[in-house]
Amino acid sequence: MLSRTGTAGEAAARAQQTSSELTLECLVKGYGIPLGRLVALEDMGIIREVDADRFHCDDEDRLIIVAAAIQLGFTLRELRELMDLYAEASPARRALPSFMKLLASYQRLMAWREPDSGVTAQPPAGRQRRPFRARDFRPGVVRKDKPA
């Protein structure tokens, strides 16, 4: 963990330790990311293309969080909002378990109850999927300490 007196060189060394190279197959099959979302992940800076079927990832935690959010059906706007929330979080709160808990709470919020008959029914018209709103989860993730 970097201290407040950490240098830019130390930050670059830490980033290099967590960076990895991934194949297209690993992203699609391993992480479950649809091919159509790869361009958006490049735009958000989560991955960058090395060549036709290899990608570089500087922060694998971000990739795991986004992959989980994609599996939950997040839209591109919601993914960007989630990554903005990640960027605003303090390093201690940026840990992967914190964000996976956030996604789990979102998943519980969106879970549909199955009828007692065991037949899966469509949700009522008024009970559609609610969009992810970072502001609903922000207090638990982003520190609100005021500078002294």
Q: Domain for residue 146, yes or no?
A: no
C-alpha separations of 125 from 116, 122, 129 in Å: 19, 9, 10
Residue 75 covered by a domain: yes
Helix (H), strand (E) at residue 48: strand 47-51
Residue 4 lies in a domain: no
Q: How many domains does the chain have?
A: 1
- Mean pLDDT, 10 residues at a time, the chain of 148 residues: 40 53 92 91 94 91 92 89 89 84 80 47 54 62 50
Q: Does residue 9 form part of some domain?
A: no
Report if residue 45 sits inside a domain: yes
pTM over 0.75: no
pLDDT, position 115? 42
Residue 40 placed within a domain: yes
| Domain that includes residue 62, residue range | 17-108+129-141
d(CA 120, CA 99): 30
The encoded tokens of residue 59 equal 């922060």
Task: Report the alpha-carbon angle 37-99-12, nearest 5.
Answer: 80
Residue 96 domain-assigned? yes
Confirm whether 12 is domain-assigned: no
